[in-house]
Amino acid sequence: MKFEIKKKILQPIIKRLKKRGLGTAIFFISLFLLNVALFTDIVTLKNDGLLRITFLNVGQGDASLITLPGGAQIMIDGGPNPRDALQELSKVLSPFDRTIDLITSSHPQQDHIGGLPEVIRRYRTSAYISNGEKNTIGVYETLIETLQKENVPNIILSRGDRIRYRDSIIEVLNPPKKLGEDLNENSIVLLLKSASTTALFTGDIGAKTEKQILQYLEVGLPDIDILKVAHHGSKYSSSKEFLKALTPKIAVIQVGEKNRFGHPAKETINRLKNVNTKILRNDEDNTITLISNGETIKIVK
């Protein structure tokens, strides 16, 4: 896999050097044949030209896995705990697939990075993408220690930076180079353009940052096919102006059942309905996979 990560000033290029493997011992001829057949199916599936975005059901937290046309895999956030993150990944990845090419977190809070240290231990990855913000919580310290132990570089990106893989582009819309004081508002916001499909991953930003993003994009955001709703459906996010500018076809709310925050807020649900968006929720729909061929988006629950 070859990724090109362009920063405004340094413009470093990261090349994948690690090779994929079956990662398991084969003891019998019959098992060998079965494994070869399964591996062939996996390779074919991951190189079928389709874009797949899976929103993992990790409770009250964010975690999603993107498979780009060509097979590269990117994980955004890891939910609040390793058990749910690993369990959900095992549902969508073959036991022979032990590579997630890039792993990123929107911001260093428990419900977004809690599962990442164990994911990094279990899956090979070329780089970890972050906004560079630090936190004093224990899981953040564990995450940094794990990155160092596994020799995974921590690449800090900010507004204007881009990641390119073949014909797919991921643009960073937030945060600016100078971080503010609010962890949520500093969330990395990623705009994915792939297979004639646009998807926006918004972390936990609120209306203030939504307005800044619209101002940053002077020509306006493109119509969004898939929106990861900010901050689990908080009433302080997904403003009327932001949603009107996006006009998302599908909105996914990553939220846990009976959470103490009252997410998603009725106000947010109503604002999404007002722009005729199809709403999907992890607490109601479990793990959700969206598959795009560039013309239609298939929803798999």
142 torsion bin: left (phi>0), alpha (psi -120 to 50), beta (else) = alpha
Task: Tell me the two tokens of residue 197.
Answer: 């499909």
Gap between the Cα atoms of 298 and 40, Å rounded: 23
C-beta separation of 263 from 272 below 8 A: no
Kindly report, residue by residue over 34-78, the tens digit of the pLDDT.
444 444 444 445 567 899 999 999 999 999 999 999 999 999 999
SS3 94: coil
Segment 136-167, tens digit of pLDDT: 999 999 999 999 999 999 999 999 999 999 99
Residue appearing with tokens 């011992």: 25
- Please state, rounded to an integer, the average pLDDT across all residues of the chain: 87
Do residues 87 and 282 touch, judged by C-beta distance below 8 A?
A: no
Instruction: Kindly report, residue by residue over 230-277, the tens digit of the pLDDT.
Output: 999 999 999 999 999 999 999 999 999 888 888 999 999 999 999 999
β-pairing verdict for 189-194 and 64-67: unpaired
Confidence of residue 31 (pLDDT cuts 50, 70, 90): very low
DSSP secondary structure letter of residue 189: E
Q: How far apart are CA 230 and CA 133, in angstroms?
A: 19
What is the CATH number that goes with domain 4-15+24-300? 3.60.15.10
Place of tokens 């895999």: 73
Say what the pLDDT of residue 111 is. Answer: 97
